[in-house]
Amino acid sequence: MKREQIKTILDLFEYIVEAGAEYPLIYRTDNEAEYVPRSRFYEDVMHAGAVISGRVQSGGAIAMIGDNSYSYVVTYFGVLVSGNTPVMLDKMIEEKHLKDVVAAVNCSAIVFSDDYEDSIGEVSVEKLSFDEVLSNNPDSRLKTFPKIDENDICTVFLTSASTGKSKIVPLSHKNMVSEFKALDGNTMLSGTAILCLPLHHVYGLVGNLLYMMYINSPVFITKSIRNFLIDIKLAEPDILILVPALYSMIIRALKSDITPEALRAYAGPRLKYIVFGGSPFNADPSIMLNSGITPYIGYGLTETSSTITLRTVTEANNDLDNVGKPIGNTEIIIGEENEILVKSDMVFASYLNNDCSNDSCFVDGYFRTGDVGYIDDNGELHITGRIKNLIILPNGENIPAEMLEAHLYELSYVKECIVKEQDDKIIAVIYSEDGELTAEKIKDDIRQINMKLPVNCSIADYILTDKPFSKTSSQKIKRY
């Protein structure tokens, strides 16, 4: 199997075990790194497929829930080789919502890591733990792959739901493979990557795992975001695929020594690339640039198989709301209310069991992203906000909350913030860990920000909190 012949994720698996990295996956065992050779990965996946086939009829959907692990990755591919479709569940999902999703997708089974057995509750489907999948009948293995078409559904995701109930998004093999091929023509990534984003998130599975395997990059699997800062020392990665919140964790770990030298010492001598996506990036890129690290900024959604625009950040072009040009065969136009509309092989066909959303989420073949932005003279896309986050004032003015939040994030003591409308005024809610912060200081800083803004955009007041905001598992602030 040659890389240019890949059309499905099973093709990708065949390519990985025949011609991929010598050790495609790495994980921590105690204080050492365990390197998994291609042959072991193949045997483990085909074994997992046999165990699943012995418990569940092929042609159905199988839900998955758990922390990142080698077992999770093997089980994901095992579900595919057994002729079933993985349904990626957020490990923070509530039991009622889990039952709704299992029913909507008509799942025949659920596989889970032991830590999440209690989260499953009384779901009336076949249940298997990752340990069972890898340990039962050790000599049993599938011999062949199922026959599939690139237009078949490959994996089902849930949107991250930072503003409400998540939607069910089925992505085809063609959607996901088109993502790899589009990225491959727009990046220069090479070396070892660390998998720190959750696998149930499209950015984690497609961008942080599968694409890395597609370009023959070994992937070090870290269990969770909490383990990331520990495992980065052991992994010494060349590539980081991050959401901005994870980069903020690194910066906080540097404490007062926020310098290019300190970043390099903390992240390791080999780090060459950091790719940002998942939410707006507001940090100063000069620290990375001055430490010899190349930052990329991308934009995409679950419904677009992850990234659909991408660019390299440079000293000359460090405008952080600029997320680059469309990649692959992606077409982007700006619709009513400056909404970003997308057409691409990476865009899904429709939501599952959500007819109301399906009727309104496409216009003339373009997917309505719900995001607001514009395309500059160089053809690069700029994100200015989200339609649901627009602050609508009594005079009819629409103000993107993200625009105001970007100004607040320039204040060193602001760790997290949201801006909202309250009693016909714009209010900032600020989370800070600075115990010496005074009301006078905040008011003065907001006054300085307001001087840069149109009068109608002025922040009228603030609320200071000492507790972080609730977040989704992909570290987006929940606004509802």
342 and 198 within one domain: yes
What whole-number percentage of the chain has pLDDT above 90?
64
Question: 366-375 and 381-386 as β-strands: parallel, antiparallel, unpaired?
Answer: antiparallel
Of 139-148, 177-186, 235-244, least confident by mean pLDDT is: 139-148
On average, the pLDDT of the chain sits at 90
Q: Average pLDDT in the 18-28 region?
A: 94
412 and 372 within one domain: no
What pLDDT was estimated at residue 223? Answer: 86
381 and 315 within one domain: yes
148 and 43 within one domain: yes
Q: Is residue 204 part of a domain?
A: yes
Residues 217-255 have pLDDT tens digits of: 999 999 877 788 889 989 999 999 998 888 888 888 888
258 and 180 within one domain: yes
Expressed as residue numbers, the domain containing 186 is 176-387
256 and 199 within one domain: yes
Q: Is residue 18 part of a domain?
A: no
281 and 206 within one domain: yes
Between CA 319 and CA 142 the distance in angstroms is 51
The radius of gyration of the chain from alpha carbons, rounded to an integer in Å, stands at 23
Cα Dmax for the chain? 72
Of 105-114, 137-146, 329-338, 360-369, least confident by mean pLDDT is: 137-146
162, 201 in Cβ contact below 8 A?
no
Q: What is the CATH number of the domain that holds 442?
A: 3.30.300.30
187 and 278 within one domain: yes
475, 197 in Cβ contact below 8 A?
no
Last residue of a domain, one of 115, 150, 171: 171
Count of the separate structural domains present in the chain: 3
What pLDDT was estimated at residue 384? Answer: 85
Between CA 313 and CA 284 the distance in angstroms is 11
Residues 330-387 have pLDDT tens digits of: 999 999 989 999 999 999 999 986 655 677 899 999 999 989 999 999 999 999 888 8
Q: Average pLDDT in the 252-269 region?
A: 88
Q: Is residue 185 part of a domain?
A: yes
Between the two ends of the chain, the Cα-to-Cα distance in Å is: 47
Note the residue count of the chain: 480
266 and 129 within one domain: no
Between CA 358 and CA 362 the distance in angstroms is 7
What pLDDT was estimated at residue 227? Answer: 85
What pLDDT was estimated at residue 120? Answer: 84
DSSP states of 371-419: EEEEE-TTS-EEEEEEGGGEEE-TTS-EEEHHHHHHHHTTSTT-SEEEE
307, 300 in Cβ contact below 8 A?
yes
Q: Average pLDDT in the 192-215 region?
A: 96
Burial of 219-254, coded b for 16+ CB within 10 Å and e otherwise, reads bbbbbebeebbebbebbbbbbbbbbbbbbbbbeeee
Q: How far is CA 354 from CA 84, 87, 164, 338, in A?
A: 22, 16, 15, 25
Last residue of a domain, one of 356, 387, 418: 387
What pLDDT was estimated at residue 179? Answer: 97
What one-letter code names the amino acid at 251? Answer: I
> Exposed, middle or buried by CB within 10 Å (0-12, 13-18, 19+), for 44?
buried
Q: Is residue 23 part of a domain?
A: no
198 and 153 within one domain: no
288 and 344 within one domain: yes
Q: What is the CATH number of the domain that holds 56?
A: 3.40.50.980
Which distant-in-sequence residues (6+ apart) come within 8 Å of 431 by Cβ?
414, 415, 416, 417, 465, 466, 467, 468, 469
What pLDDT was estimated at residue 163? Answer: 44
Q: Is residue 22 part of a domain?
A: no
Between CA 230 and CA 245 the distance in angstroms is 16
At 216, is the pLDDT very low, low, confident or very high (cuts 50, 70, 90)? very high
Closest to 383 (Cα-Cα) out of 457, 480, 311, 290 = 311
What pLDDT was estimated at residue 396? Answer: 56
Q: How far is CA 84 from CA 17, 149, 271, in A?
A: 20, 13, 37
Between CA 73 and CA 130 the distance in angstroms is 10
Q: What is the CATH number of the domain that holds 382?
A: 3.40.50.12780
Q: Is residue 5 part of a domain?
A: no
Query: What are the residues facing 157 on neighbouring strands?
Result: 169
At 135, is the pLDDT very low, low, confident or very high (cuts 50, 70, 90)? confident
The residue ranking higher by pLDDT, 43 or 115, is 43
324 and 209 within one domain: yes
Residues 379-415 have pLDDT tens digits of: 999 998 888 777 766 555 667 788 898 899 989 999 9
Q: Is residue 21 part of a domain?
A: no
| DSSP-assigned letter for residue 23 | S
Q: What share of the chain is helix, strand, coil (3-state, %, to 5)?
A: 35, 25, 40
Q: Average pLDDT in the 41-61 region?
A: 95
What pLDDT was estimated at residue 122? Answer: 80
What pLDDT was estimated at residue 381? Answer: 97
Q: Is residue 475 part of a domain?
A: no
pLDDT at 422 over 50: yes
What pLDDT was estimated at residue 171? Answer: 98
Phi, psi of 421 (to 5 degrees): -95, 135
Q: Average pLDDT in the 69-79 region?
A: 97
Long-range contacts from 411-414, C-beta under 8 angstroms, 24+ separation: 411/445, 413/437
Last residue of a domain, one of 139, 171, 203: 171
What whole-number percentage of the chain has pLDDT above 70?
95
Between CA 434 and CA 430 the distance in angstroms is 11
